[in-house]
């Protein structure tokens, strides 16, 4: 057993912290502390490019494609320092954490050369075309259709919950390319240029007033035949591989952001006297314990020698952090009391904690609801029989 990080890793931490804090105190001071995904999008695209210019944009990627071949521990350290420095979320996180690794794993050399440099440089922003109005938890029931016509894929249908589509350049789309197929069979994975006449984007306003995601309509949208990742009919396999990335490294560094949120709650409780309320004290203690559970769980996952795959413990991570953070939002409101009801500025200009409360309602929904997570844990983790599928 090895607890904590090595001296080399601590040096790396200091290097990350220095650079990130320097940026947030200097040229990019204006974006420090932003908690929504959409605010100041143009400046944050510039931030993506600044990260790239200093080789911090995708440190886990191979150096050949702009990365640093960073170890998993280094990636976690970078993510932690990123959050500690108050840097806002990555507007290209889908490109860096999902599209890039998917292309690296399943793409051809030509596809790597075509997409990876732009993603690494912060020039190509990606969004994800998975969910549809009729395919949410039941993701395999996608109906968006793709057909080959004169050397091009022609796509028709609708995607929804497409985060940041309105500022994206490219979208990866799971489409049904085999006529009459059902479920996970007959799907293919396509890369498409968002900025074309056949793709229409409409924003969806959220309960916190932000509009991070969109409806995306495809009407004879087109892409070249070689935009297909993997083979025709491999779409489900690739989508599932991609979701494993989503459950992997990208969530492990979250705990520092969570630490910031819990610290803000503790500071608020001290300021308004709730810190002496025994009921609140107990819940703060429970939140602290929950955070430490995640912390040590992540370190355990990191300690696995085979870093290429995330094991069964990772199955439980999503529900654990999502439920913990949702409770954290509730605790924040109980600490603030009525002060949490009032926005600091104009409508929907929430402070960090009320926004946490509203946003965290989505944590137990996106990326697989808690109910789907329990099914996965029971069916894949515990080997229980699958819930019967109907045929509506």
Partner 1 sequence: MDFRFSDDQLNLAEGVRDYLSGTHGPEVLRRLDEHGNRDPAIWQGLVQMGLTGLCVPEAQGGLGMGLPEAALIAAECGRACLAEPLVDTAFVGVPWLVAQGQLGGLEDVVAGSRRIAVAHAINPWEADGDGAALTSVDPLRNLSVRVERSRDTSAPGVSTTLDANGEGDDLLLNLGALMSAAQLVGLADAMLDQAVEYAKIRTQFGQPVGAFQALKHQLANCSVAIEFAKPVVWRAASALEHGLESAPVHVSHAKVAATDAAMLTAETAIQVHGAMGYTYEVDLHFWMKRSWALCGAWGDRAFHLKRVDDAVLGGALPIGPQHTFA
Q: Which residues are catalytic?
A: 246
Whichever of 272 and 303 has its CB closer to partner 1, that residue is 272
Is 379 among the residues that bind partner 1 (CB under 8 A)?
no
Question: Could you tell me if 310 and 376 are in contact, meaning their C-beta atoms sit under 8 angstroms apart?
Answer: no
Is 71 among the residues that bind partner 1 (CB under 8 A)?
no
- CA atoms of 144 and 315, how far apart (whole Å): 29
| Angle, helices 352-360/317-336, rounded to nearest 10 degrees | 140
Is 180 among the residues that bind partner 1 (CB under 8 A)?
no
**Smallest separation (angstroms) from partner 1 to the CB of 281:** 11
- CA atoms of 253 and 130, how far apart (whole Å): 24
- Exactly one of 142, 242, 280, 284 binds partner 1 (CB under 8 A); which one? 280
Residues 6+ apart with CB under 8 A from 244: 309, 310
Residues 6+ apart with CB under 8 A from 340: 332, 333, 353, 354, 357
Stretch that binds partner 1, among 80-88, 225-233, 300-308, 333-341 (CB under 8 A): 333-341
Whichever of 307 and 361 has its CB closer to partner 1, that residue is 361
- Exactly one of 16, 20, 58, 160 binds partner 1 (CB under 8 A); which one? 160
Is 143 among the residues that bind partner 1 (CB under 8 A)?
no
Is 14 among the residues that bind partner 1 (CB under 8 A)?
no
Is 45 among the residues that bind partner 1 (CB under 8 A)?
no
Please choose, from the candidates 183, 144, 136, 138, the residue with its C-alpha nearest in 3D space to the C-alpha of residue 161: 136
- Exactly one of 185, 205, 270, 286 binds partner 1 (CB under 8 A); which one? 205
**Smallest separation (angstroms) from partner 1 to the CB of 284:** 12
Is 151 among the residues that bind partner 1 (CB under 8 A)?
no
Is 392 among the residues that bind partner 1 (CB under 8 A)?
yes
Residue 116 neighbours by CB distance under 10 Å: 24
- The token pair that represents 89 in the structure block: 């979320």
Question: Could you tell me if 32 and 39 are in contact, meaning their C-beta atoms sit under 8 angstroms apart?
Answer: no
Residue whose structure tokens are 């940041």: 164
Is 274 among the residues that bind partner 1 (CB under 8 A)?
yes
Is 243 among the residues that bind partner 1 (CB under 8 A)?
no
Site residues for partner 1, 334-363, by CB under 8 A, read: 334, 337-343, 345-347, 354, 361-362
Beta bridge mates, 160: 215
In residues, how long is the chain?
392
- Exactly one of 21, 105, 123, 141 binds partner 1 (CB under 8 A); which one? 141
Residue 39 neighbours by CB distance under 10 Å: 12
Please choose, from the candidates 313, 245, 263, the residue with its C-alpha nearest in 3D space to the C-alpha of residue 102: 245
Is 365 among the residues that bind partner 1 (CB under 8 A)?
yes
Whichever of 96 and 332 has its CB closer to partner 1, that residue is 332
- CA atoms of 328 and 314, how far apart (whole Å): 21
Contacts with partner 1 by CB under 8 A lie at 131, 134, 136-138, 141, 160-161, 204-207, 209, 274, 277, 279-280, 326, 330, 333-334, 337-343, 345-347, 354, 361-362, 364-366, 369-371, 374-375, 387, 389-392
């Amino acid at each position: 057993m090895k607890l904590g990080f090595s001296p080399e890793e601590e040096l790396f931490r200091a290097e990350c912290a220095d650079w990130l804090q320097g940026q947030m105190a200097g040229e990019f001071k204006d974006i420090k502390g932003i908690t929504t995904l959409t605010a100041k999008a143009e400046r944050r695209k510039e931030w993506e490019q600044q990260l790239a210019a200093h080789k911090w944009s995708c440190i886990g990627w191979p150096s050949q494609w702009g990365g640093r071949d960073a170890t998993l521990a280094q990636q976690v350290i970078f993510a932690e320092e990123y959050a500690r420095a108050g840097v806002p979320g990555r507007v290209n996180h889908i490109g860096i954490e999902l599209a890039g690794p998917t292309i690296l794993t399943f793409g051809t050399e030509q596809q790597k050369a075509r997409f990876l440099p732009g993603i690494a440089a912060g020039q190509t922003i990606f969004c994800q075309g998975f969910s549809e109005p009729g395919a949410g938890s039941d993701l395999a029931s996608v109906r968006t259709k793709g057909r080959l016509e004169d050397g091009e894929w022609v796509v028709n249908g609708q995607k929804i919950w497409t985060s940041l589509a309105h500022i994206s350049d490219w979208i990866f789309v799971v489409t049904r390319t085999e006529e009459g197929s059902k479920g996970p069979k007959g799907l293919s994975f396509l890369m498409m240029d968002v900025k074309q006449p056949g793709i229409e984007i409409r924003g969806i306003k959220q309960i916190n007033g932000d509009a991070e995601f969109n409806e995306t309509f495809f009407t004879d949208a087109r892409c070249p035949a070689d935009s297909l990742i993997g083979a025709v009919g491999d779409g489900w396999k690739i989508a599932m591989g991609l979701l494993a990335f989503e459950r992997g490294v990208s969530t492990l560094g979250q705990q520092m952001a969570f630490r910031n949120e819990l610290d803000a709650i503790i500071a608020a409780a001290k300021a308004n006297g709730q810190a002496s309320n025994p009921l609140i004290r107990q819940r703060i203690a429970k939140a602290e314990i929950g955070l430490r559970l995640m912390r040590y769980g992540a370190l355990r996952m990191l300690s696995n020698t085979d870093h290429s795959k995330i094991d069964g413990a990772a199955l439980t991570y999503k529900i654990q952090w999502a439920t913990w953070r949702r409770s954290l939002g509730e605790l924040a409101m109980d600490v603030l009391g009525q002060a949490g009801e009032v926005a600091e500025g104009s409508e929907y200009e929430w402070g960090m904690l009320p926004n946490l409360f509203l946003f965290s309602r989505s944590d137990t929904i996106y990326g697989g609801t808690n109910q789907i997570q329990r099914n996965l844990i029971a069916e894949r983790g515990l080997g229980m029989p699958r819930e019967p599928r109907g045929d509506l």
